Amino acid sequence: MSSCDEQLNEDWKPEFGKIFLWPAMDKFGKIAVMVNNCRGDLPKALLSNPHSISLLDPFMEHIFEGLDMYSRYSYKKHGETILDLYSGLKYREYKNRKEIEKEVFEDSKRENVISDEGLPAQKGLFVYYAVEGCTPGEDFVVGYKGKTKMGDYYRYLIPTIYASIEDFTKELRTAIAVSDTVDFTKDRLFDNDKISEYFPRLYS
């Protein structure tokens, strides 16, 4: 994961080798972590706000339970992680979906170091991954019937108990990109070309 405040700005473009994570909120107040996997765009509202950019690293350190200045606000949801769509490239060595579900379940229960797979179960967060790959078509979304391209965000993991804005200290909330139209419980794929339309503003 790349350091955000040193590299993100209004002129930033996705590039291979640099992964950024950013938080998002849907129209019902549910929270997701969006993983750009080097290919996904970030909302213009976020890229044009240096203060919010400076909060991205602290936000992610906080939810992954690093030793950060907001650790006293840490929380646990004690839910489960449900696998939804997944990367054909990342899981190409697996025989079937059940093998992947087993690994996701095991990873979600690790408490000493929270992984992406642990975020839904322990933090109540949806996790969306961007379609990755070096060339178009190298990666593909298993379980989605429509067309996808590099950079499109697909719903990878679903929580059974949802986090809300109240789970986050006020100092970190302005890092969250907000949508007035998206529903994380229903929307499984976001067109990368429209990411700023889906999330046009920041939490305030």
Say what the pLDDT of residue 71 is: 78
Confidence at residue 66, expressed as pLDDT on a 0 to 100 scale: 66
* Alpha helix segments (H runs only) across 81-200: 97-108, 118, 170-173, 195-198
Could you report the per-residue pLDDT of 58-104, keeping only the tens digit for each? Answer: 999 999 976 667 777 788 999 999 999 999 989 989 989 999 999 99
Looking at the DSSP assignment, which residues form a beta bridge with residue 202? 177
Q: How confident is the model at residue 117 (pLDDT cuts 50, 70, 90)?
A: very high
Mean pLDDT over each residue of the chain, to the nearest integer? 92
pLDDT at position 6 is: 62
C-alpha to C-alpha distances, 87 to 31, 100, 144, 172, nearest whole angstrom: 22, 11, 10, 30
User: For residues 200 and 93, which has the higher predicted lDDT (pLDDT)?
Assistant: 200
Given a cut of 70, is residue 204 above it in pLDDT? yes
What is the C-alpha to C-alpha distance for residues 83 and 117, in angstroms, rounded to an integer?
Answer: 9
Task: Tell me if residue 167 falls in helix, strand or coil.
Answer: helix
pTM exceeding the 0.85 threshold for the entire prediction: yes
Burial class of residue 157 (count of CB atoms within 10 Å of its CB; 0-12, 13-18, 19+):
buried
